[in-house]
Amino acid sequence: MPLLSENNKLSLGFSPCPNDTFIFHALVHGQACGSSPAFGEAALADVETLNEWALAGRLDITKLSFHALGHVLDQYVLLMAGSALGRGCGPLLVARENLAPATLPRLTIAIPGKYTTAALLLRMYSPASLTTKVMRFDRIMPAIVAGEVDAGVIIHESRFTFQTHGLLLLHDLGAWWEQETGFPLPLGGIAAKRSLGKKKVQAIDRCIRASVYSAFASPEAGMPYIRQHAQELDDKVLQDHIGLYVNPFSLDLGAEGVGAVREFLARGRQLGVFPDHSSGLPLTSMEL
């Protein structure tokens, strides 16, 4: 029996990036878990838009940055499936010329959204006050090249293409995180509204996991859907992107993945970014 009636479908949002469209292709095309629970048409938006929607409580299930998750734990719970965590996959700080870390406070640095993991990771890396400028992730490299900003934190496909824009790597922020903590870097996850209740939330989690399994079993099946929404259409870039961000943590966070998220949120609280009261709430769907 469906958990929801046909006229009461769950709202779902994720990004148009290849890792998300790879993960959700089977689910949005009715190939992952049938009609139980029932999902409405997916809303695809860039990650910072999704973060802002999460702060407004707009969607029942949403992809969001782990930075944003720290602000909305009173409304949302993290699902165990669908996340982007890993090693060697973090945001990169790039510029037109080689600049020493000591110069960062004197620069204007583009970030891909106020609530992105990349923005908070930059703050963790350089606690000194920095001048930042929020831009859509796909505008950052052109802005650096044009001299609108001195440097930028790039994410998604940009990490594979920045050198073709004549840009230099100043620091791999993900590598810094791994060295500091020993954990894989938690980039983004899938969260569901706590108000849906334990039964529905865990059913949603199972559906997303089934969609990931389907993607791994038939990776070519979703390629037309992935190309339809991708910023970069080169097959190697798409495959590299998916291979980097979709991994065993996407099937199940496990103890290591949950530990990485807890460490990220704890460091955010130490910086005064997140409210303290959220630390006592169940973090994941398995803890409800």
**Confidence band for 35, pLDDT divided at 50, 70 and 90:** low
Quick one: which H or E segment has residue 7? none
Q: Which residues have a Cβ under 8 Å from the Cβ of 20 and sit 6 or more positions away? A: 14, 63
Angle at 89 between CA 86 and CA 91, to 5 degrees: 125
Is the distance from CB of 37 to CB of 4 less than 8 angstroms?
yes
Instruction: Using the CB atoms, write b or e for 5-37: b if 16+ within 10 Å.
Output: eeeebbbbbbbbbbbbbbbbbbbbeebbbeeeb
Residues facing 39 on adjacent strands: 10
* Mean pLDDT value of segment 175-197: 97
How far is CA 37 from each of CA 60, 146, 150, rounded to the nearest angstrom? 12, 48, 47
In this prediction, residue 158 carries a pLDDT of 84
Mean pLDDT for all residues in the chain: 92
* Mean pLDDT value of segment 205-231: 94
- Check residues 235 and 20 and name the one with the higher pLDDT: 20
Asked whether residue 4 carries a pLDDT value surpassing 70, the answer given is no
The 3-state DSSP class for residue 171 equals strand
Asked whether residue 55 carries a pLDDT value surpassing 90, the answer given is yes
Q: Which of 170, 205, 181 is nearest to 191 (CA)?
A: 205
Pairing of strands 185-193, 108-111: unpaired
Quick one: which H or E segment has residue 108? strand 108-111
- Residue given tokens 């409580």 in the structure block: 57
In this prediction, residue 240 carries a pLDDT of 85
Using CA atoms, how far apart are residues 200 and 207, in angstroms rounded to an integer? 11
How far is CA 261 from each of CA 41, 125, 257, 269, rounded to the nearest angstrom? 29, 17, 6, 12
The domains located in the chain, with CATH, are 12-86+186-287 (3.40.190.10), 92-181 (3.40.190.10)
Residues annotated as part of the active site? 156
